[in-house]
Amino acid sequence: MIRILFVCLGNICRSPMAEAVLADMIKSERLDGQIETDSAGIGNWHTGEPPHYETRAILQKNDIAYTGLTARQIRQRDWERFDYIIGMDEQNINDLKAMHQISDKSPMVAKLMDFVNDPEEENIPDPYYTGNFAYTYQLVSTGCANLLAYIKDKHHL
Ligand code: 4NP
């Protein structure tokens, strides 16, 4: 099983959105026996909460399931479990690197925007602050589609 963990600050807006979007793509390509998604937050403020209501609304509008998604904080053992740890912005990457020394054996750590060719944005904008969930959804969808293509190619799926 290939395991992908999306990480953002609060685990209620961007990373659960990415988790749900990628899970939906994996399911439509019938790769759910081979690739698994999860998400976590750098912070613990929202532990146990469902995604932000506007994240739920944009997912619902796009026919993407989000039942069962519950915020949690990243933990040390995630570094053993996942093959890919994908952050939403530069600060997430810095925080991730501060909690774990990256080595050859570490999961691949990257930003979701590394998979989006967009000269305007280096980070997935945080809609908790921008209020623009539709724009974030657009970048997250493109990023997830390209990340999935990258993983399929790399693992010959
Ligand atoms: P997220 O957005 O990192 O995309 O889930 C945030 C949600 C909540 C907070 C910060 C960012 N917060 O500070 O509570």
Determine whether the shortest distance from the Cβ of 18 to ligand 1 is under 6 A.
no
| pLDDT tens profile 27-73 | 999 999 999 999 999 999 999 999 999 999 999 999 999 999 999 99
Determine whether the shortest distance from the Cβ of 21 to ligand 1 is under 6 A.
no
Q: Which residue's CA is the closest to the ligand 1 atom numbered 13?
A: 10
Q: Which residue's CA is the closest to the ligand 1 atom numbered 12?
A: 10
Sign of CA dihedral 73, 79, 82, 87: positive
Closest Cα to residue 35, out of 92, 86, 111?
86
Q: What is the pTM of this model?
A: 0.98
Q: What is the mean pLDDT of the chain?
A: 98
Determine which one of 13, 14, 56, 78 is catalytic. Answer: 14
- pLDDT confidence of 7, banded at 50, 70, 90? very high
Q: What is the mean pLDDT of residues 84-91?
A: 98
pLDDT at 23: 98
